[in-house]
């Protein structure tokens, strides 16, 4: 049986990518991310009745299907990293 909750990730198609949610030809939501630090985009959905959720999440590494753990980049003590995410609503 297939779970109604599903998640998968894909590499960004370009270093600075934009994901748009359109109503017809008009974008109503745009999310742009810097592929330098967030090179993957995770899509998650829950299609159960009364849930109907779609989530778009920029992420640092690929996410495997199912419950598998992914190798995540680790910061050493004192290290920092910056991320750029821009969200625009029409």
pLDDT 10s per residue in the chain (90 long)?
445 566 778 888 778 888 888 899 888 988 888 888 888 888 888 888 888 888 888 888 887 665 556 677 788 999 998 888 899 997
| Both structure tokens of 43 | 């899509």
Evaluate if pTM is beyond 0.85.
Answer: no
d(CA 54, CA 46): 7
Helices (H) and strands (E) in the chain, counts: 0, 6
Comparing C-alpha atoms, which of 70, 6, 15 is closest to residue 38?
A: 15
pLDDT of the residue at 1 = 42
d(CA 35, CA 10): 12
């Amino acid at each position: 049986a297939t779970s109604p909750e599903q998640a998968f990730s894909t590499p960004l198609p370009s270093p600075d990518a934009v994901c748009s949610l359109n109503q017809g030809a008009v974008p109503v939501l745009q999310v742009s991310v810097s592929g330098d630090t967030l090179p993957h985009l995770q899509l998650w959905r829950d299609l159960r009745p009364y849930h109907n959720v779609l989530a778009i999440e920029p992420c640092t590494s690929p996410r495997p299907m199912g419950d598998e753990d992914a190798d995540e980049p680790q910061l050493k003590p004192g290290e920092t990293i910056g991320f750029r995410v821009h969200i625009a609503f029409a």
